[in-house]
Structure 1
Amino acid sequence: MSNKANKGSFRIISGKYKGRKFEFLPSSDLRPTPDRLRETLFNWLGQVIDRKTCLDLFSGTGSLGLESLSRGAQKVTFVEKNFEHFDKLKGYLKKLGTIEDISIINKDVLAWLDEANDEFDLIFVDPPFYEQLAEKVLLKIKTKSLLAKSGNIYLEVEKDLDLSFLENNWEVIKETNSGKKQYLLLKEK
């Protein structure tokens, strides 16, 4: 019996690494952003990725950061607490043969944000669902001024999450939902 039946996969949609496929072992805390929704996100962003710095928080498979890298991001920083996911992501990067424009950090996102000082043009925030992390992460990003003035945040959260915490600091530029998830593109007010 093949072990392939127990694996999930994702592919890079566009750019330098277009068509490259990556396999992962499904787990309850791993939800790679589906191809169709990644395509929607990058259509929202247009050409904004080229030569930009990106931060992929709660990286998991790293599909968002890898897609950014493929589309010309200058630098991508991945932060993933789970060592198995972190190790698998390192393997993906080695498979691509590119690590010079990459930082990959195996650490709790909130702890890492406490130490972070760099500014990013695009920040992906895809926290585990039902752990009330989105508000805490966005507050740290705002407080530490980690988002560049013309930067954007992509937020992927559970559909039933109360988003009233966005009202004072964040403007929703685009949004959509699918199944049990909602997807938002934000900018600072």
Structure 2
Amino acid sequence: MRVVSGNYGGRPLKTLPGKTTRPTTDKVKGAIFNMIGPYFDGGLVLDLFAGSGSLSIEAVSRGMDEAVLVERDRQAQAIILENIQMTKEAEKFELMKMSAEKVLTMLSKKFDLILLDPPYAKEQIEKNLLIMQERELLSATVTVVCETDKSVELSETIGNLHLVKQKIYGISKISIYEF
């Protein structure tokens, strides 16, 4: 696995061995960013189930200013820290070592890009997006990227967010929401 494009393009990324995380393949990662960007002129990213940190590192590589990565698994946290070091711009990343639920009660910034790839997709995604809207954590121009198993059916509308794009890549489904 590697950073696909941008400032860190081509640099290798580490992933967690085993089945505790499901790393997004380079092909799917490239497709996601082609759907939403592919490049950005600043902004703040929230990666709520960071895994290896690959998606938020890709977003910063492609022009986002900073990323907040949330991961409660200790082994995954160690991989994220190694991947952040690889960027040589660690100041652009903040790793919060706790559950998504706890983080959502603590955050106060407005995010421009939300990355959601939770282990239990449908319930988790919809609940978390409603909490984020209630707590006003989403900018007016937010883009929300949800990665799920292709069998997961998310709602067309979640609060004030509306499904704007959806594509299937192998076993993964990418759903994009905006206000």
Asked whether the two chains share a fold, i.e. TM above 0.5, the reply is: yes
The alignment partner of 1:26 has SS state of: coil
Cα distance in 1 between the residues matched to 2:31 and 2:19: 24
Native 8 Å contact 2:133 2:159 kept in 1: no
Native 8 Å contact 1:38 1:64 kept in 2: yes
Q: How many pairs are equivalent?
A: 179
Higher relative contact order (CA 8 A, sep 6+): 2
Name structure 2 gaps, 5 residues minimum. none
Cα distance in 1 between the residues matched to 2:169 and 2:38: 24
1:142-185: per-residue Cα shift (whole Å, max 9, x none)?
11111100111001122222323735532111110133321111
Residue 126 (structure 1) aligns with: 117
Residue 155 (structure 1) aligns with: 146
| TM-score between both structures, scaled by the size of structure 2 | 0.92
Residue 61 (structure 1) aligns with: 52
The alignment partner of 2:94 has SS state of: strand
Deviation at 1:47, TM superposition (A): 5.1
Residue 77 (structure 1) aligns with: 68
**From 25, 28, 34, the counterpart of 2:19:** 28
Residue 86 (structure 1) aligns with: 77
Native 8 Å contact 2:144 2:177 kept in 1: yes
Which has the larger displacement, 66-75 or 21-30? 21-30
The alignment partner of 1:153 has SS state of: strand
Q: Percent of pairs identical after alignment? A: 29
Deviation at 1:16, TM superposition (A): 0.7
Native 8 Å contact 2:46 2:114 kept in 1: yes
RMSD: 1.8
Which has the larger displacement, 88-97 or 165-174? 165-174
Residue 170 (structure 2) aligns with: 179
1:70-114: per-residue Cα shift (whole Å, max 9, x none)?
112111110111111011111111122211111111010011101
Cα distance in 2 between the residues matched to 1:165 and 1:18: 33
Residue 98 (structure 1) aligns with: 89
